Amino acid sequence: MRNTSDIVVMTDHSSTEGSSAQLARAVELVTGAAPLMVDARHFYDGGTGVLRLGVRPTLVVPSENVEVRPCALVIYEIPPGDRHRFTRFQAAVARSGIPCLGADAQAWRNATDKRCTVDRFRTEGIPQEESLILNRPTWHTALTAFDRLGRDVWTRPAIGFGGRDVCHVTTEAQLHAALELYQKSGSSWLLTRDAGNFDEHGRRHQYRVVVLGERVLRVCEHVQHNPEAPCNEAQGAVSTVLAPDALPQHLLELAIRATASVGLSFGGVDLVPERGGAVFEVNVHPVLDVPQGLETVSVPFVLTHLTDAAAHGPTRYESLRPHR
């Protein structure tokens, strides 16, 4: 059985998103050594993985013959629909003292469940388009909400992924189709007033701003040629990397405040500049396998874990900087 003290990168290995490979590369670039990759599914409720607490907390995965004392734990690429199965483990990590930016289950829930996000934004004064939450509504309830928001809305499941099951609704027939869609899946859902986020060419656009603490790491503009489709790369939007100073300072500050409002120190913020700026959501795990994602996001994310590790005690990594 392996028994080491090392950096552990923990992701759901069923995911095909590609962020885990980027994080592994980042760890090796920073430290000169590959991390130990662990499948997060072992630590979902019902899994056989164990975190033994104590002076030297130890991760154990009997089926993989792994026993490791992490100096830092990098958690990423946990699908939104499975995050509720991970909360007990996150609580154990928080108690363990292992440096980890992914140990706050409540912050994850605030960002993952859009009902919580809407409430947190409202409480913290984060500008957002008006949203109404529907939980197994009748047709009359849905229609009343549709009328209240001006009959030009986007519907989305309370817990979604990659822009799936997000619909632009401007007619009663479209609203009825959305109602049936969410009834079949059993999802609570939201109606959100259309932001009118069109560029000078009539295309939908929004910005993804990746935040770490008080820093903006990366800015992308997403442009969607189909005005009826979500402005999401997974749904066909075109992404262009911008210099952070391409956005006005007040939007950068808004992204930082929005991330903090849900309790996260790291996140990918989707926002638009229209009418002074409005935030759609904060993503717990923005995709890292993107142009310049390694340099701009993955490496700083890993460095933060290792800086925290050094602050908690001796570390075998003498220099926390990318190796050349």
The pLDDT value given to residue 2: 46
- The answer to whether 197 and 204 are in contact (CB under 8 A) is yes
Position 8, amino acid: V
Mean pLDDT of the chain: 92
The number of beta carbons lying within 10 Å of the beta carbon of residue 126 is: 24
- Phi/psi-derived region of residue 214, left when phi > 0, alpha when psi is between -120 and 50, beta in every other case: alpha
In angstroms, how far is the first alpha carbon of the chain from the final one? Answer: 33
The pLDDT value given to residue 324: 38
The pLDDT tens digits for 27-79 are 999 999 999 999 999 999 999 999 999 999 999 999 999 999 999 999 999 99
pTM of the model: 0.92
Half-sphere exposure of 127 (CA within 13 A, CB side): 14
With a cut of 50, say whether residue 251 has pLDDT above it: yes
- The answer to whether 261 and 124 are in contact (CB under 8 A) is yes
**Cβ contacts of residue 243 below 8 Å, gap of 6+?**
219
Distance separating alpha carbons of residues 62 and 49, to the nearest angstrom: 7
The pLDDT tens digits for 286-314 are 999 999 999 999 999 999 999 987 776 65
With a cut of 50, say whether residue 322 has pLDDT above it: no
Token couple for 299: 């490496």
Distance separating alpha carbons of residues 100 and 42, to the nearest angstrom: 18
Q: If you search the block for the tokens 């460095």, which residue do you land on?
A: 303
Distance separating alpha carbons of residues 230 and 11, to the nearest angstrom: 27
The pLDDT value given to residue 132: 97
Token couple for 68: 């490791």
Distance separating alpha carbons of residues 66 and 64, to the nearest angstrom: 5
The pLDDT value given to residue 130: 97
Q: What percent of the chain has pLDDT over 90?
A: 85
H/E run at residue 293: helix 293-293
